[in-house]
Amino acid sequence: MKASHKNLNKSEAKQVKAQKQAISIAYDREADVLSLTFGRPTTAEAEEIGSGVYARYAKQTGRLAEICVLGFSQRFNKRPKEISVPEYAK
């Protein structure tokens, strides 16, 4: 099967670029903190979106830069939980 390549308009190109954004995952066992960083590290402001769950938004764009979960092993070791996180700061 041969891969096809099509020309994308600017809107579609931005969407494709966003889909390729790197996500870094780090877990600090001593502090019991899980961090998910979207793209390159940036200056950001944190907002508590749930008890011990923080979303950090880039100061310049308001876009989601990182999610931090405090007490990760205590929260997620028994069963999965769902967390709603807005992509942009309010």
Residue 11, domain member (yes or no):
no
Residues 69, 34 contacting (CB under 8 angstroms): yes
Residue 27, domain member (yes or no):
yes
53 C-beta neighbours (distance < 10 Å), count: 19
Compute the distance between CA of residue 24 and CA of residue 57 in angstroms, rounded to an integer. 16
What pLDDT sits at residue 41?
85
What pLDDT sits at residue 7?
45
Residue 49, domain member (yes or no):
yes
Tell me the pLDDT of the chain (90 aa) as tens digits: 333 334 444 544 444 455 567 899 999 999 999 999 999 888 999 999 999 999 999 998 999 999 999 999 888 766 666 667 777 776
Q: Is 56 left (phi over 0), alpha (psi -120 to 50) or beta?
A: beta
Residue 16, domain member (yes or no):
no
Residue 69, domain member (yes or no):
yes
Domain that holds residue 41: 22-76
What pLDDT sits at residue 20?
66
Residue 1, domain member (yes or no):
no
**What is the value of pTM for the model shown?**
0.64
What pLDDT sits at residue 73?
86
Residue 38, domain member (yes or no):
yes
What pLDDT sits at residue 87?
77
Say how many domains are in the chain.
1
